[in-house]
C-alpha cells in the first residue's frame, strides 16, 4: 500500500530534497533517476502553483518532469516523516 502524506508534512522536509537545478552555477544539480526508482517530486510552475507528486517514477511523471525542481526517494521521505 502506498503512503500519501499531508502536503504540510512534506514541506517541512523540502530542504532534504535533491535539487535538480542548483542555485549556484558552479554547484552540480542532481538529475531525476532514470529507472523505476519510486520518489516524491516537488514541482513549481513559476506562476504561483507548486506541489508534490508522491510515489512516482520518472516515466510516470511525463511532462510534469519539465517543472520538477527537487526530488527525494519515497522511502527516505517516509522515514523522515515517521521519525518526525
Summarize pLDDT for 21-33 with one digit per residue, the tens: 766 666 666 777 8
Residues 38 and 75 sit within 8 Å (Cβ to Cβ): yes
pLDDT at 4: 81
Report which DSSP code applies to 81: H
> Given this model, what pLDDT does residue 27 score?
62
Core vs surface per residue 21-60: b (16+ CB within 10 A) or e: eeeeeeeeeeebeeeeeebbbbbeeeeeeeebbbebbbee
Segments in the chain below pLDDT 70? 1, 22-29
Query: How high is the pLDDT of residue 28?
Result: 62
pLDDT in the model for residue 58: 85
All structural domains of the chain with their residue ranges: 7-83
Task: Enter the pTM of the model.
Answer: 0.83
Amino acid at each position: 500500500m502506498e503512503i500519501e502524506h499531508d502536503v504540510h508534512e512534506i514541506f517541512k522536509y523540502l530542504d532534504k530534497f535533491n535539487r535538480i537545478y542548483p542555485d549556484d552555477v558552479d554547484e552540480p544539480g542532481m538529475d531525476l533517476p532514470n529507472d523505476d526508482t519510486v520518489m516524491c517530486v516537488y514541482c513549481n510552475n513559476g506562476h504561483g502553483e507548486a506541489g508534490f507528486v508522491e510515489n512516482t517514477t520518472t516515466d510516470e511523471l511525463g511532462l510534469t518532469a519539465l517543472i520538477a525542481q527537487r526530488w527525494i526517494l519515497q522511502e527516505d521521505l517516509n522515514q523522515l516523516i515517521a521519525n518526525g
